[in-house]
Amino acid sequence: MEKNLKRMATMQRMQSTGLELFYQQGYYNTSIDDILKKLSLSKGAFYYHFQSKEDFFISIVQNLLFQKVYSMLVEPIEGQEDPLNVISKSIEDALETAEHNNMDFGFVLSNFITEFNGKNPEIMKYLTDIMKVWEVNLITTLQKGKTDGYVDRHVDSEAVATYVISSYIGVRTLMVEGNSKMLRYKYVQQLKNYFKLISQKAVA
């Protein structure tokens, strides 16, 4: 009964290292041998646990990637009051984490979306689904913010969510060299300005 423990432990080691390398080098540019070498495991071990490279990647997306996005960008917002402050704080935290990570290669999710776009519709679906979880959560939170009097009632919540997500993806794409700190500072400054616009009862 407890034999599954070893299986799952090995699988998780593979997934964890897999995500790390896929994130650093891209999916197509990372070979299974790269991952196995880092773990001192063999091809046989890999294909014992996973059907294919694609199956392996999907399992990473559904487990690790979803968790990563959810805990960083969705959970901190869910059910909170004062949506605009909570949202900007979650984004600030995410950017700070990224900046202090000396091996940062952008927003994991959007990097993969870029890589798989037009190549693998099935994987794309898994990725955009995660994106959608964030989007829906943002919209819901903004709508609730209207009812609670934090957000201007004339604001188009869906449009705001689109704009917030877009800008976050972009700034993470740009945060790739030594200029991360200044970039983050400028970005957050403007994000908060933008939020001021939609918090008061101005046009929107």
Question: Which residues of the shown chain bind a copy of itself in the complex (CB under 8 A)?
Answer: 24-26, 28-29, 103, 105-106, 110-111, 113-115, 117-119, 124, 128, 131, 156, 158-160, 162-163, 165-171, 173-174, 176-177, 183, 186-187, 189-191, 193-194, 196-198, 203-204
Counting residues that bind DNA (by CB under 7 A) gives 24
Long-range Cβ pairs for the range 98-105 (8 Å, 24+): 98/172, 98/175, 98/180, 99/175, 99/180, 99/181, 99/184, 103/24, 104/175, 104/176, 104/180, 105/23, 105/24, 105/176
Considering only CA atoms, which of 48, 50, 17, 51 is closest in space to residue 35? Answer: 17
Nearest residue (CB) to DNA, 44 versus 178: 44
Q: CB of 58: closest distance to DNA in angstroms?
A: 12
Using CA atoms, how far apart are residues 169 and 157, in angstroms rounded to an integer? 18
Residue 84's CB: how many other CB atoms inside 10 A? 21
Can you tell me which of 38, 53, 68, 146 binds DNA, judged by CB under 7 A?
53
User: Which of the 8 DSSP states describes residue 121?
Assistant: H
Q: Which stretch binds DNA (CB under 7 A): 44-52, 84-92, 164-172, 191-199?
A: 44-52
Widest CA span of the chain, in angstroms? 63
CB 109 → DNA: shortest distance, Å?
A: 21
Smallest gap from Cβ 114 to a copy of itself, in A, equals: 5
> How many Å apart are CA 78 and CA 140, to the nearest integer?
9
Give the whole-angstrom CA distance, residue 141 versus residue 87. Answer: 9
Residue 122 engages DNA in binding (rule: CB under 7 A): no
**2 touches which of a copy of itself, DNA, none (CB within 5 to 8 A by kind)?**
DNA
* 70 versus 163: smaller Cβ distance to a copy of itself: 163
- Identify what 67 binds: a copy of itself, DNA, none; CB under 5 to 8 Å per kind: none
Provide, rounded to whole angstroms, the least separation between the CB of residue 75 and DNA.
32
* Least distance from a copy of itself to the Cβ atom of residue 18, Å: 17
